Amino acid sequence: MSNFSVPTREQVSENNQAIFDNLQKAVGFVPNIYAAMAHSKNALGSYLQFSGSETSLTKKEKEVVDLAVSQLNGCRYCQSAHTAIGKMNGFTDEQILELRKGNASWDNKTSVLAQTARSIADKRGQVSESEVEAFYAVGYTKENLVDLIVAIGIITVTNLFHNVTNVAIDFPVAPEL
């Protein structure tokens, strides 16, 4: 159990109250991880701006990254949230479990994306030239590589935040691997 509280709308700054209102309209609730970030007057808005920025990766590709990296980083909250979001983006339960392991047996390009994301995160960017070449060989570009690294950074921030605060998971809890 976490001792890091999840503030209510009334307990956060005025700018965070507006963000809570927008999240409520967009998603139907304020996820606990975002609400907990609102302990800071600035962090939630900065995080959402960064995480919501344009990217060359599709929504499905971003979910591949989020699932693979969240598993590597041991973030149960993000494993759970991105299992739900992955399903909304068309992945099956079996595919999601495989992506969390850093693989996609049904599609080579997706598999390479999951493997590359996991490797970059695991090796803190110290990947081999052959790993990068394999990423390009399946059709990804330098722009995609840049956006992949940014996506890894975004999910890593969320993973670290939850691993430190352990706020309550407010999504169906993903199965353990």
Q: Has residue 173 been placed in a domain? A: no
Q: How confident is the model at residue 3 (pLDDT cuts 50, 70, 90)?
A: confident
- In this structure, are residues 97 and 175 in contact, taking their beta carbons and an 8 Å threshold? yes
Q: Has residue 42 been placed in a domain? A: yes
Residue 34: name the closest of 8, 56, 57 by CA.
Answer: 8
The CATH number of the domain holding residue 153 is 1.20.1290.10
Q: Has residue 172 been placed in a domain? A: no
The mean pLDDT value of the chain amounts to 97
Q: How confident is the model at residue 2 (pLDDT cuts 50, 70, 90)?
A: low
CA 48 – CA 111 distance, rounded (Å): 28
Instruction: Show the domain range for 47.
Output: 9-51
Residue 66 in tokens: 């989020």
pTM: 0.96
Looking at the fold, whether 89 and 19 belong to one and the same domain comes out as no
CA 91 – CA 26 distance, rounded (Å): 22
Mean pLDDT of 152-157: 98
The pLDDT tens digits of the residues spanning 104-125 come to 999 999 999 999 999 999 999 9
Please give the C-alpha separations between residue 40 and each of 24, 70, 143, in angstroms, as whole numbers.
19, 23, 32
Mean pLDDT of 126-141: 98
Looking at the fold, whether 41 and 93 belong to one and the same domain comes out as no
Q: What is the DSSP string of 94-136?
A: HHHHHHHTT--TT-HHHHHHHHHHHHHHHTTT---HHHHHHHH
The structural domain count of the chain equals 2
Looking at the fold, whether 87 and 29 belong to one and the same domain comes out as no
CA 135 – CA 115 distance, rounded (Å): 9
Q: Has residue 134 been placed in a domain? A: yes
Q: Has residue 151 been placed in a domain? A: yes
- In this structure, are residues 47 and 76 in contact, taking their beta carbons and an 8 Å threshold? no
pLDDT for residue 1 is more than 60: no
Mean pLDDT of 96-106: 98
Looking at the fold, whether 118 and 153 belong to one and the same domain comes out as yes
Residue 140 in tokens: 């990804």
Q: Has residue 156 been placed in a domain? A: yes
Q: Has residue 96 been placed in a domain? A: yes
Task: Encode 132-151: b = buried (16+ Cβ within 10 Å), e = exposed.
Answer: bebbeeeebeeebbebbbeb
- In this structure, are residues 117 and 69 in contact, taking their beta carbons and an 8 Å threshold? yes
